[in-house]
Structure 1
């Protein structure tokens, strides 16, 4: 009993560290309008600044996504916290656009180091028999942290002084505290190897994972793309089309999507992974439809409903996807496979978001959003139909 209690305590502490790191990646979201006023850049530049983060994540996942399998979880996570601190410093020192690019890149490097390694670490610190709950802790820490970032920044920007500085100072303090916590947690990789043994990895999957990977990966791509649009474009839409200039409201709307994702992840334990993926795809489709209505009729209530429904669908689909590919992965390649799934997911944050930014100029924010929604709706519909036709491939992790 004491061992289980100690295991869950460590699991939750590592999850808290995970959440702190991820909060830093969305912290600037409600502040982009202030940066636009200060530095005078366009909406396209906002999406590029945002996407630099995703490119940083994917670069790390491809170059060192399996590093923690070799050198250990804690060293990799400490490096991740170091990059998170560097990101906060870049934003604190920002005197021009270059600082924002640097800060987002550092944030992407921190998230890239954390996603696979921290997910595996949280799961490994849990006591025996706690894999399902540990998966929820990991994914909830990820999405919950992402949701806390814009909520904290929005509240501080609206009701506290120094809106472009205080949020990052607070995060820097939390990162320092997280480093102290991490140093007190045990290492879980038993056979550690030197850093020189880490080699860049091309996107690839073990043979037993490939049959179950495609549809979960598509659902992850669409879910993260929806989040990417919410976090990069929705503050501008709220301000320009709906007249909502309150930073706290802007941050709350974005945070709702991530908190709804956490609720969706919790529901997977009751619904089951086999049914959660197609249900998640259906909810993502509904969220996209609500977002289309919000763009067409300029209704705040539809933006909020889109965040809740789409976020819940993303949570259902993503936790089921993570459970499916993790269960099908060999233990010694688990972090690398999880990192591959995150590469696909973060591609959804970068490419579609930049596409929206490019289209805003010629066809406007509404038109760009509707083109994005149509493309994502096609993708998620294909994944949902495939899952309904081959349900056995979802829950088992074996060839169908």
Structure 2
């Protein structure tokens, strides 16, 4: 017997959760503009910075795997509040950090909050959408995610340049935003059908039969796109400082934000593309963008980096929204958070593990060679995904519903 929420869907509740989603994800990329101060203060090498980043990856993947489906049992609102509490604990840890151990703990907690939020908030935004806004619900969820990730480096870049205590003040500001988000989430109605007898368990990486075909295609394109996201969040600031001579936190944060803003733009653009070609188009955009990112190294060209950022961001946004929309619509309602969390497991493997390898490559080969290696390997990965997507379309039976419709 399930206790089903009969709470109405309201525009304010929908906007409140979307705002909380963005605020929470903002905290996960806030350190992007602060890493250089950690390097100056503690003498960290690029490898140590990579170890700190790895702590975030462990937190995200651990949360997604262990509690990714708990909102189907405990309710969306409870899990969102739990995610915000962990995010607040992360911010406080950073404020009082005095070395590597607490920085790693802060990033671990930040990863756990992201792991709780990604699947739960995505589903909650979609479920809270008023009927008149239902067609834009998936975009609101994905845009909240990506813009939140983008605002993190932009906010910290501005704060470290204009205010004292660059290793503490950005987290204090984010803590205040978390309080606002928690108040907003506390007031929203519950949308999940909560079982009378709660059964909590580890997230299973299994998929309902009706969603598997869509999931595989979306995961291929999504993985490639989030490798690029990981590069911009963790490594691109060092590229800008060393290769292009940019040292302003505001400028660097703005360029990183540009990628995520263009991802949101790509999520709008994808509606203009025939559904069956959206993910393939996104892959083509990623390839072209990566070519320009690679060219910025030998050419020492800010223009090439900016063009690559715009094109890669749009490509990533197209493939990300198209894939997530198909998965959300194909998944059974009672397993929607589980399936969505499984998709984000794939994405956060992409945003984490390749970047850890790249950080090690920077230590031994230098930022220029490591960036060229990253661009080449990622282009190869995207081309493989594109080939498999095209083969999937060729093997699709006539009359079958195209992906994204």
- Shorter-chain TM-score: which interval? over 0.9
Query: After alignment, is 368-377 or 28-37 more displaced?
Result: 368-377
Following superposition, the deviation at residue 288 of structure 1 comes to: 1.1
Alignment of structure 1 residues 46-125 onto 2, 5 Å = 46-125=49-128
State which of 169, 175, 180 in structure 1 corresponds to 2:183: 180
Specify every segment of 5 or more residues in structure 1 that has no aligned partner in the other structure, as ranges.
Answer: none
Residues in 1 aligned to 2:92 and 2:233: alpha-carbon distance in whole angstroms: 21
Quote the residue 2:21 is aligned against. Answer: 18
State which of 293, 296, 310 in structure 2 corresponds to 1:294: 296
Alignment: residue pair count? 393
Contact 1:69–1:189, Cα closer than 8 Å, also in 2: yes
State which of 236, 241, 262 in structure 2 corresponds to 1:234: 236
Query: After alignment, is 73-82 or 229-238 more displaced?
Result: 229-238
Following superposition, the deviation at residue 389 of structure 1 comes to: 3.4
Quote the residue 2:48 is aligned against. Answer: 45
Per the alignment, do residues 397 and 234 of structure 1 end up closer, same or farther by CA in structure 2, a change over 3 Å counting?
closer
State which of 135, 138, 145 in structure 1 corresponds to 2:141: 138
Quote the residue 1:347 is aligned against. Answer: 349
Which deviations, in whole Å up to 9, do the C-alpha atoms of 1:30-85 show, x marking residues without a partner? 11111100111111221221232122111111111100011100110011000110
Residues in 1 aligned to 2:379 and 2:277: alpha-carbon distance in whole angstroms: 19
CA RMSD in angstroms comes to 1.8
Provide the TM-score with structure 2 as the length reference: 0.93
Following superposition, the deviation at residue 160 of structure 1 comes to: 1.9
Provide the TM-score with structure 1 as the length reference: 0.94
Following superposition, the deviation at residue 204 of structure 1 comes to: 1.9
Residues in 2 aligned to 1:375 and 1:240: alpha-carbon distance in whole angstroms: 22
Per the alignment, do residues 277 and 394 of structure 1 end up closer, same or farther by CA in structure 2, a change over 3 Å counting?
farther
Following superposition, the deviation at residue 193 of structure 1 comes to: 4.8
Query: After alignment, is 295-304 or 177-186 more displaced?
Result: 295-304
Q: Does 1:152 align with 2:159?
A: no
Specify every segment of 5 or more residues in structure 2 that has no aligned partner in the other structure, as ranges.
Answer: 1-7
Residues in 1 aligned to 2:401 and 2:264: alpha-carbon distance in whole angstroms: 20
Residues in 2 aligned to 1:10 and 1:269: alpha-carbon distance in whole angstroms: 25
Q: Does 1:275 align with 2:274?
A: no
Following superposition, the deviation at residue 8 of structure 1 comes to: 2.5
Per the alignment, do residues 380 and 27 of structure 1 end up closer, same or farther by CA in structure 2, a change over 3 Å counting?
same
Alignment of structure 1 residues 375-390 onto 2, 5 Å = 375-390=377-392
Residues in 2 aligned to 1:378 and 1:388: alpha-carbon distance in whole angstroms: 15
Residues in 1 aligned to 2:389 and 2:134: alpha-carbon distance in whole angstroms: 24
